A and B are shown apart, each in its own frame.
Chain A
Amino acid sequence: MKKKHLSVDMMNLEKHYDKFNIDFIRYFTRHKFGINIFASVAAMSYWLSSGLWEWSLEVPLRSAINAGLLGAFFFLILFTTIAYAAGNSFMESLRLSSRRCLFSFTTMNLAIWPILFLSGVLTWIDLFSWTLTLGLWGNLVCGYTAVTLDIAIPLIYKLIYK
């Protein structure tokens, strides 16, 4: 089938032809970075200040870990499937989606850890097990909101304005 969408990588000066627009997977732009940070800060602030905080501490750790792994695999498989449907090979699709997930994960954690330390919830003398629990919940809360928003907001913007 003829490839329709031309995607230009301005950093590497390369051209890619896809069946449809998958730039939201290929490129992690400044806008996505900003949306991710903003959404992570908002999600963390809501989680720390609402009743969700107490509820999350009562949930068994194993269930939280399973929910986290499920979310991570869900986004990875979703991005891989979309990139594959756009006409890329399986390895190339996996490469694009894992790169995208890695950038989102790093950006979320750039917001999560400073908020945890600055809010006083976490200190340097706390046990590492407590740090991991808070880190896991932070990633869960931000992953399901920030990653969803950073895909959805540019798509909604394009639908409305173009």
Chain B
Amino acid sequence: MDEKRVEEALDRLEKEEHHILKVLEEAKESEKHLDEKRLQKLKHFTIGDFAQSVIGATVFSLPAILNTSFWDYIPRLSTPFLFLVHAVVFSCFFIALNYEYRDTFKWNMTFFKRLAKRSFYVYFSSMMMIVLLLILANKIALNLSNVEVFRNFLAAMSMGLVGSVTFSFLKK
């Protein structure tokens, strides 16, 4: 009688363990599928991705471009400092883009090549919009010098880059 109860308890435990393992396998499969889906999105730059970059860059940079006190502050900063800020923002943009498509930052040559291509597309898309806005705000004009145009571009583009990766919720 006791042996029968022990056997029934063991059977029940075995079934529960089997059920837990099955749930775990299904969760792993769904996560594997999710990574592939995210990687597929990395491979192709669609109209939705373009729109997201442009809208994000516009929303973040437009208030600064239209704000006169922002342009009063920029002349106080040196050109190498503006370039450094732009480089730091670009590296943060690259890291943020990496984490949009996977959960690690491990070295993987194929992934980084695809990510570099995607970064180029997003940067170029944002740049088109930022340049247009700067022309409209007369911050890129024919009568300005190269250094003034370059400084205005660096300042606006730094903010545009932040916006272009922040607005990824638009695609979801």
Q: Show the binding face of A for B, using Cβ within 8 Å.
A: 11-12, 14, 102, 106, 122-129, 131-132
Determine whether the beta carbon of A128 is less than 8 Å from that of B146: yes
Q: Which of A11, A102, A125 contacts B146 (CB 8 A)?
A: A125
CB closest chain-A residue, reference B117: A11
Choose one: B114, B145, B148; the contact of A12 (CB below 8 Å).
B114
Known: A11-B113, A11-B114, A12-B114. A126 touches B43 (CB 8 A): no
B141 interfacial contact with A, CB 8 Å: yes
Total interface residues in chain B, CB < 8 Å: 19
Q: Is the CB of A124 within 8 A of B143?
A: no
Q: Are B141 and A128 in contact (CB under 8 A)?
A: yes
Residue of A nearest to B143 (CB): A127
Within the complex, the shortest CB–CB distance from A149 to chain B, in Å, comes to 23
User: Is B78's CB within 8 Å of the partner chain A?
Assistant: no
- Which residues from chain A contact B67 at a C-beta distance below 8 Å? none
Residues of B within 8 A of A102 (CB): 124
Taking A125-B147, A128-B145, A129-B143 as known contacts, 20 extra A-B pairs with beta carbons closer than 8 A to each other, sorted by chain A number, are: A11-B117, A12-B43, A12-B44, A12-B114, A14-B43, A102-B124, A106-B120, A106-B124, A122-B146, A124-B145, A124-B146, A125-B145, A125-B146, A126-B146, A127-B142, A127-B145, A128-B142, A128-B148, A129-B142, A132-B142
Verify if B68 is at the interface (C-beta below 8 Å from A): no
- Whether a CB of chain A sits under 8 angstroms from the CB of B144 is yes
On chain A, the residues within 8 Å of B120 by CB distance are 106
* Bound CA–CA A127/B146 (angstroms): 6
In the assembled complex, B110 has its CB within 8 A of some CB on chain A: yes
Q: Which of A106, A123, A128 has the most CB of B within 10 A?
A: A128
Cβ of B140 and Cβ of A128 under 8 Å apart?
Answer: yes
Q: In chain B between 82 and 128, which residues have their CB closer than 8 angstroms to a CB of chain A?
A: 110, 113-114, 117, 120, 124
When distances are taken between beta carbons in the complex, the residues of chain A under 8 Å from B43 are 12, 14
B128-156 contacts to A, CB under 8 A, are 140-150
Option from B44, B117, B141, B145 in Cβ contact (under 8 Å) with A126: B145
A128-B114 contact given A12-B43, A102-B124, CB 8 Å threshold: no
Given A12-B43, A102-B124; A131-B146 close (CB under 8 Å): yes
Q: Can you list 26 A-B pairs with a CB-CB distance of less than 8 A?
A: A11-B113, A11-B114, A11-B117, A12-B114, A14-B43, A102-B124, A106-B120, A106-B124, A122-B146, A123-B146, A124-B146, A124-B147, A125-B147, A126-B145, A126-B146, A127-B143, A127-B145, A127-B146, A128-B140, A128-B141, A128-B142, A128-B145, A129-B143, A131-B146, A131-B149, A132-B142
Chain A residues in 8 Å Cβ range of B117: 11
- Tell me the complex Cα distance, A132–B146, Å: 10
Which residues does chain A contribute within 8 Å of B145, judged by CB atoms?
124-128
Alpha-carbon distance between A128 and B149 when the two chains are bound, in angstroms: 7
Distance A126 CA – B150 CA, assembled complex (angstroms): 12
Residues of B within 8 Å of A132, CB to CB, are 142
